[in-house]
């Protein structure tokens, strides 16, 4: 199989960002395995990992917990992923496509490369900077007067739709090497931000965090291919050298 032909149904990684209770991690694992998902990634779990409360709540989904990987940051957890969804029911002031679980599941089934689905902490959900790392917002049209889903419920909604979408066939992408991993995109963002720092672009200190977040949002939205990221990095390098 060449790089131009990729499996279009690679199961997505479920990323629990700063989960609080071991019991909820276990329930999320159970929800995943019920519908054929087994890759769990944990970002800075509050009570550390492993957690003794997770096993009983998983009700036999031990393989998910045993293979769970722990990361310090969201960026590290999704570094090898070409596409990232952020689950949230709140507006975040970010201009991103918003889809429901059914659409996200269909797209994940048909898209080449690894996908990550971000789920936030039980009490507060994902932070704006977490959402900024994603290409698309995944949300559920819940009752606006009571939009309170627990972690396992949120996971199972997507997992069910992913299972229902069925196993897709391999898809051919002529002259397409696949979408850029998140780590490559992060390299572009860091390179461009550094170049802008060097010309004092973020000189208004009070506005700098918002400007940096807007820049990141602009670059994560299009889902660049790996070749496109390399091209953009080459452009930044050329412009920087010309200025020097």
CA distance 20 to 87: 17
Same domain, 105 and 208: no
Last residue of a domain, one of 172, 205, 234: 172
Predicted confidence band of residue 244 (pLDDT cuts 50, 70, 90): low
Residue 211 neighbours by CB under 8 Å, 6+ apart = 201, 202, 204
What is the tally of helices (H) and strands (E) in the chain?
A: 10, 9
Name the residue range of residue 54's domain.
5-172
Same domain, 189 and 166: no
DSSP string, 156-204: HHHHHHHHHT-PPPPEE-TT---BPPHHHHHHHHHHHHHHHHHTTTT-S
Same domain, 128 and 224: no
Cβ atoms of 45 and 69 within 8 Å: the answer is: no
Same domain, 68 and 131: yes
Q: What is the pLDDT of residue 1?
A: 33
Q: Among 28, 31, 36, 43, which residue's Cα sits nearest to residue 11?
A: 36
Same domain, 51 and 166: yes
Last residue of a domain, one of 150, 172, 194: 172
Same domain, 42 and 80: yes
115, pLDDT greater than 90: yes
Predicted confidence band of residue 243 (pLDDT cuts 50, 70, 90): low
Counting beta carbons within 10 angstroms of the beta carbon of residue 202, is it exposed (0 to 12), middle (13 to 18) or buried (19 or more)? middle
Mean pLDDT of the residues in the chain: 86
Same domain, 62 and 156: yes
174, pLDDT greater than 70: no
Predicted confidence band of residue 62 (pLDDT cuts 50, 70, 90): very high
């Amino acid at each position: 199989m060449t790089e131009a032909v990729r499996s279009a149904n690679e199961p997505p990684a479920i990323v629990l960002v700063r989960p609080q209770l071991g019991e909820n991690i276990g329930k999320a694992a159970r929800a995943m395995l019920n519908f054929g998902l087994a890759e769990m990634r944990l970002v800075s779990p509050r009570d550390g990992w492993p957690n003794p409360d997770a096993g009983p709540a998983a009700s036999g989904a031990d393989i998910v917990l045993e293979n769970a990987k722990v990361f310090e940051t969201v960026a590290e957890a999704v570094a090898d992923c070409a596409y990232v969804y952020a689950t949230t029911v709140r507006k975040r002031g970010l201009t991103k496509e918003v889809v429901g679980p059914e659409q996200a599941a269909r797209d994940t089934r048909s898209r080449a490369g690894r996908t990550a689905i971000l789920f936030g902490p039980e009490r507060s959900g994902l932070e704006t900077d977490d959402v900024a790392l994603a290409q698309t917002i995944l949300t559920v049209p819940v009752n606006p007067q009571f939009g309170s889903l627990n972690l396992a419920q949120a996971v199972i909604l997507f997992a069910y739709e992913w299972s229902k979408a069925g196993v897709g066939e391999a898809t051919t992408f002529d002259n397409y090497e696949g979408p850029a991993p998140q780590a490559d995109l992060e390299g572009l963002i860091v390179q461009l931000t550094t170049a802008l720092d060097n010309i004092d672009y973020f000189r208004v200190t009070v506005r700098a965090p918002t400007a940096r977040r807007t820049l990141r949002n602009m670059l994560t939205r299009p889902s660049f291919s790996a070749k496109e990221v390399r091209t953009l990095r080459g452009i930044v390098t050329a412009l920087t050298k010309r200025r020097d």
